[in-house]
Each structure stands twice: as C-alpha cells, then as structure tokens.
Amino acid sequence: MVRLVLLCLVVSSFIACVRGATPNGHDTEAASVKAEQQLRAASTRPAAALTPVEAELIAHGPRTERRIALTFDACTTRNVSQYDARITRELVSANAKATIFLGGGWAKEEADHVKELAANPLFELGNHSYTHPHMARIVDAKRLDEELLKTQSEVFELTGQTPRLFRPPYGEYNERLVKAAAQAGLTTVEYDLPSGDPDQHATKERLVEWVLRMARPGSIIVMHVNHTQFHTAEALPAIISGLRDGGYQLVTVGELLREEHALGGDGGTEL
C-alpha cells in the first residue's frame, strides 16, 4: 500500500478547472498521436540514475512552521507551448524561491528558457511527465516509465540536473503511478492549495484573495507558467508580499520537505 503522507487535497474542482481551460491530455485521437510522436522524438541520452525511494504521496509540508512552497507547472500541450516570462521576472524581482515542474515536451520546445531557469539558484526543477497524459489511466508499465524517464533525460540533457520530484498531470494519481515514480527515484508531490489560475474567471484580484485566504503553514501552492493568458504574473507580487506580511518564508518543495523526507541536495542532482 502506498503511504499517503500529509494528505489534504483540494483536487476535484482544480482538475475540472484545468480540463476546461487547457487542451492537455489524451482526450482526442489527435492528442494521442502527438503524444506518441513526442515520445519517439524525445531525448535518448539517459539521465543520472536515482536510487529508488519510498512510494509516498506528499501534499504539504509541516504545519508547525510558517513556510510555504510556490510551485509552477509547465505543462506540455497539444499546441506549441507558451512561456510566461513575466512570472520568472516577478519571482526574481521579489527574490522568491519556487519549484517548477517541467513537462518533457515543454522543456524541449522551451529549451533556452529551461536552461535559464536551471541556472538560477532560486528555482528547483521537477518532473511533470513528458506529454501530460492522464497517467492514472495508463495500464502499460512501459509507457509510464517512458513518461517519467524521458522527462528526466530531457531535463538532464538541457541542464545537467536530474529532478527528484514528480507532479502528476491534472493532479491525478493512483498507487501504480506513485510506485512507478518511486522506482525511478521520484517523490510524488501534489498540493493542498490550487491557485485556480487556469480558470478563465480567475482574475488577478480573485487569485490574490483566494491564495492569501487559504494559505496555511506548510502549504504547497500550484500555479502555471505555460500560458500567457492567465493572470498569474499579475497576481504574483501581491501574493508574495501578502504571504511574507503574514510571516511566511517562501521555500522550494525540497527545502519544505527535507527534514521529514530524504530528498537530498536542492531537489536535483547536478553534474
């Protein structure tokens, strides 16, 4: 049985929001075809092998410390992805740490930006699958491994770093997926505070109000960096300042969990 660690998810409404707002996944034949093409064209240079870890699902850090992790998903989509560089600029300007979960296909399309992110010590890189499928629906163990390991290879080839954290697309998971990630040396990280930024009705003001109202010690907040039409970048300055005014320290997921989970290093193995 997969050990569910610190589990306090608000997933169902967020999943529906993401599905309604983004053209991700394998819901159509065209999407499935593109996914297969992406996997075949993926990097074949192996990433640095990681030692298998305990199969566990983490949704937040310790509730006893006023530390919070900002996280951003860079989802691979059916169309060419977009990179919202405004988000990075706001994080750097505020000297705010963040963990960015990279889709392998997105990383390939945004190679220069991925290298820039990897070179900035504020940012920790994670794995967000290669093609952004509904991985809990995949029964083929080989396909699961390809989604995980080819993303590892893509990130490693671009940056020399091997992610140690994995976030499932859509927030969907099952025991088989968590175990497959653990065998690849990846700890599965969900979140307890979905910002709601994929929602077309999520204005700057609503994002700020929701995040600041729902934040708790140890929260892992999820936002997105791959769509320029979201209001995430506009809301970030007020979110960051509001959290800090509330006494919160902004840390990476690796830092948030390091004392209770043997993640090691800064969340990535460097050459």
Indicate the pLDDT class of residue 78, thresholds 50, 70 and 90: low
124 in any annotated domain? yes
For residue 36, tell me if it sits in a domain: no
User: Is 244 a member of any domain?
Assistant: yes
Mean pLDDT of the chain: 86
> What is the Cα–Cα distance from 188 to 114, expressed in whole angstroms?
21
**Banded model confidence at residue 243, pLDDT cuts 50, 70, 90:** very high
Domain assignment present for 39: no
CATH number of the domain to which 122 belongs: 3.20.20.370
pLDDT in the model for residue 28? 59
Query: For residue 139, what are the domain limits?
Result: 3-25+53-262
Evaluate whether residue 166 is within a structural domain: yes
| 48 within a domain of the structure (yes/no) | no
Domain count, the chain: 1
pLDDT (tens digit per residue) in 132-160:
999 999 999 999 999 999 999 999 999 99
Say if 57 falls within a structural domain.
yes
Q: Look at residue 184 and tell me if it is in a domain.
A: yes
